[in-house]
Amino acid sequence: MSYTGPDFDPPRNPRSRRRPLTVAVAALVCGGLLGWGVYAATGGTDDGGAGAEAKGSPSAPSRAPSQPASPSAGNTGNTEGGGGEESPASRPPGATAPAATGPLKGKVVVIDPGHNPANFRHTAEINRQVDVGTHRKECDTTGTSTNDGYAEAEFTLDVAHRMRALLRKQGATVKLTQDRDRPYGPCVDERARIGNEAKADAVVSLHADGSGSGNRGFHVILPGVVNSGGADTRAIVAPSRELGERVAGNFVRVTGTAPSNYIGGGTGLVTRKDLGGLNLSTVPKVFIECGNMRDGKDAALLTSGAWRQKAAQGISEGIVSFLRG
- In the chain, alpha helices (H): 23-42, 123-127, 152-169, 188-197, 237-255, 276-279, 296-302, 305-324
Distant-in-sequence, close-in-space partners of 249: CB < 8 Å, separation ≥ 6: 24, 25, 27, 28, 29, 31, 32, 318
Is 121 within a domain? yes
120-155 residue pLDDT tens:
999 999 999 999 988 999 999 999 999 999 999 999
Q: Where residue 86 falls among pLDDT bands split at 50, 70, 90?
A: very low
Is 2 within a domain? no
pLDDT given at position 34: 44
Is 79 within a domain? no
Catalytic residue among 53, 154, 245, 289: 289
Kindly give the pairing relationship between strand 173-176 and strand 108-113. Answer: parallel
pLDDT given at position 133: 86
Q: What is the separation of C-alpha 319 from the centre of its chain, rounded to a whole number of angstroms?
A: 12
Domain that residue 192 falls in: 14-50+105-324
User: 3-state SS of the chain: helix, strand, coil percent to 5?
Assistant: 35, 15, 50
Instruction: Quote the CA–CA distance of 267 and 21 in Å, as a whole number.
Output: 6
Is 245 within a domain? yes
Bigger pLDDT: 288 vs 21: 288
Residue 306 CB burial class (10 angstroms; 0-12, 13-18, ≥19): middle
Predicted model pTM: 0.75
Say which range, 24-33, 221-230, 287-296, has the weakest mean pLDDT: 24-33
Bigger pLDDT: 6 vs 62: 62
Return phi, psi of residue 142, to 5°: -75, -20
Residue 169 has pLDDT above 70, yes or no: yes
Looking at residue 252, the DSSP 8-state letter turns out to be H
Residues β-bridged to residue 227: 232
CA-CA-CA-CA dihedral for 93, 95, 100, 103, to nearest 10: 120
289 in catalytic set: yes
Is 97 within a domain? no
Q: Specify whether the CB–CB gap between 108 and 177 falls below 8 A.
A: no
Q: How many domains does the chain have?
A: 1
Query: Domain with 197 in it: what CATH number?
Result: 3.40.630.40
Distant-in-sequence, close-in-space partners of 146: CB < 8 Å, separation ≥ 6: 53, 293, 294, 299, 302, 303
* Residues counted in the chain: 325
pLDDT given at position 270: 98
Kindly give the pairing relationship between strand 285-292 and strand 108-113. Answer: unpaired
Residue 96 has pLDDT above 80, yes or no: no
Residue 263 has pLDDT above 60, yes or no: yes
Mean pLDDT of the chain: 80
Is 152 within a domain? yes
Q: Where residue 196 falls among pLDDT bands split at 50, 70, 90?
A: very high
pLDDT given at position 101: 84
DSSP per-residue letters across 152-185 = HHHHHHHHHHHHHHHHHHTT-EEEES-SS-SSS-
pLDDT given at position 147: 97
pLDDT given at position 168: 98
Is 87 within a domain? no
